[in-house]
Amino acid sequence: MLKRVAIVTGGARGIGLAVSRQLAEEGFCLAIMGTSSEEKVKERLDQLPADKGDIIYIQGSLGDRQDRNRLMETVLERFGRVDVLVNNAGVGPKQRLDILETSEECYDYVMHINLKGTFFLTQAVAKQMIKQKNQMEGQRYNQPMTIIIISSISEYTSSINRGEYCISKAGLGMVTKLFADRLANEGIQVFGIRPGIIRTDMTKTVAEKYDKLIAEGILPMKRWGEPEDIAKAVSVLCSGKMEYCVGQTIDVDGGFHIRRL
């Protein structure tokens, strides 16, 4: 049977690495994009449970059109298709500044990668998936095609010292809806995931703050989220088992989203 092919942006570290590991275990071929050099991520990628040649790494920025084009060209040259896109890569502001102080440069940096990059990579992959579906017309295209957008609890939670991050994630909520709507009848499912407080390099610098908040009960489940918690949700969403669902965003956050009194 043909192996399914997944693109995972930011798939060599943190949440993305756990997603890559999960999909490799399930037999996917992987195209992983990230900003680090191949040399830097090689050891980690070598440890993924995949056959040699089933994983390619593309160094580049999601925010750069040429890098996105190169990613698509490389994937198609190597694997000839894309079945799953996990839009995981994302950045926080280089400096956490109050919204009264933050600069246009900080704002543009975050929005460019998180929102514009994700939108246009999703557009490119969606077009490729539609092409695949049309090529298979007549024969039943039996591999589920799924696009997942990793947003955040910041999609709806105000953090006034990283407003640009929150705005980018709120925008991703609409990107999920738009593509879900546009692609529903093309046989492509689009879903979002809102991770909560997840233990990765991104949260390392504020780990003490979150330790305290979790101990004080900010989450109904009194523990940090782990990257594997997100990876398992990705696995379910791209399994094809939720056939009549489209456009949902799943909270993987230990219950953070529940309003409590």
Catalytic positions, written as ranges: 165
Which residues from 204-233 bind ligand NAD, rule CB under 6 A? none
| Torsion angles phi and psi, residue 57, rounded to 5 | -120, 130
**Which amino acid, residue 16?**
G
- Can residue 22 be called a binding residue for ligand NAD (CB under 6 A)? no
Among 20-28, 29-37, 138-146, 211-219, which window interacts with ligand NAD (CB under 6 A)?
Answer: 29-37
How far, rounded to the nearest angstrom, does the alpha carbon of residue 207 sit from its chain's CA centroid? 22
Listed ranges 89-97, 134-142, 173-181, 215-223: which one lies at the site for ligand NAD (CB under 6 A): 89-97
Structure tokens at 25: 């275990």
Q: Considering only residues 20, 61, 128, 176, which one is a binding residue for ligand NAD as defined by CB under 6 A?
A: 61
Asked if residues 39 and 17 have their Cβ atoms less than 8 Å apart, the reply is no
Question: Is 146 a residue that touches ligand NAD (CB under 6 A)?
Answer: no
Coil, strand or helix at 58 = strand
Q: Among residues 88 and 146, whose Cβ is nearest to ligand NAD?
A: 88
Q: Applying CB under 6 A, which of residues 89, 106, 145, 188 lies at the interface with ligand NAD? A: 89
CB of 185 to ligand NAD, least distance (A): 28
135-138, long-range: CB within 8 Å, 24+ apart, which pairs? none
Q: Which of 150, 180, 231, 246 binds ligand NAD (CB under 6 A)?
A: 150
What is the chain's length? Answer: 261
Q: What is the CA radius of gyration of the chain?
A: 18
178-179-184-190 Cα dihedral, nearest 10 degrees:
-120
Identify the H or E element spanning 39: helix 38-46
Nearer to ligand NAD, 62 or 219 (CB): 62
Select from 5-13, 124-132, 177-185, 232-240 the region that touches ligand NAD (CB under 6 A): 5-13
Positions that interact with ligand NAD (CB under 6 A): 9-10, 12-16, 33-36, 61-63, 88-91, 113, 150, 152, 195, 197-198, 200-203
